[in-house]
Amino acid sequence: MARRKADPGIDFSLNDLAVAAGLSKRVTQFLADNAAFEGLTQMQKLNVAAAVGGVSAANISPLLAMKLIKIVIRLETNANEIPSGFKFIGRNLPQDKIKTLIDADEYYIHRLLMECPEIYTQGVGRRGDFVVEIVNGELVFTGSKDLTSISNFDCQSREMHFSGWITNIERGSEPDFIHMANKFNLNDLCDDETGKFDPILAEHEQSMQLCRANAVSRLTLNLSLAVRNGFDRLHAFRFGERDIA
């Protein structure tokens, strides 16, 4: 892919999204044709592309990766995107740089971080990263890096908790991701005051956690790191070098 001569900022072409995802332009076009980026802002498109690329790197089909990412974003995050951690890392930037970042998009925060390797290390997971875990190729759990206790589950917890199922994984079928919200009305089952789930859901969670504890296989996907890696790839594509000062 030819590098652009100038930085177009947060105007991301299909080629940019392909670079961020680490996928071919043809595959990225296929995702776009299947509404991967429909209704999203430019920054959300970049976020989704990078996350989908990270999941696809685990030998999961891009289409299933897209479905998983979009449903997880809608039902498991509060920001309509996978948390990248850039704003948190950006707090360590020098004060003169921080002053320029008020209400800045993460694209520009990342650009400044790339000038400061002592603050931002590429390709490294961080505590609190948003993680998806696929157990036995079917059960999907979400949570935060390094917070993997399976006891005392409640709906305010940041532990790994059960989120849903990957279905139709048989050969020749089109896999899909079904979120547990399709089976349970979570608003009715969670006590707003105590943050505790109804015993029915708590029992189901305990059953799923038992499956997780006795899993034959676990596939861990650090989606926050996938997003950061995608930003890094796009930066290298647009600028060629880390230090752009």
pLDDT of residue 201 exceeding 80, the answer is no
Q: How confident is the model at residue 72 (pLDDT cuts 50, 70, 90)?
A: confident
Token code pair at residue 219: 């596939």
Q: What's residue 137's pLDDT? A: 86
Distance CA 163, CA 132 (A): 9
Q: How confident is the model at residue 51 (pLDDT cuts 50, 70, 90)?
A: very high
Distance CA 33, CA 39 (A): 13
**Can you give the pTM of this predicted structure?**
0.82
Other CB atoms within 10 A of residue 149 CB: 11
Sign of the CA dihedral 55, 59, 62, 66? negative
Token code pair at residue 224: 């926050």
pLDDT tens for each residue of 151-184:
343 433 447 888 888 887 655 566 778 888 777 7
Characterize 182-214 residue by residue with b for buried, 16 or more Cβ atoms within 10 angstroms of its Cβ, and e for exposed: eebeeeebbeeeeebbbeebeebbeebbeebee
Token code pair at residue 138: 């079917």
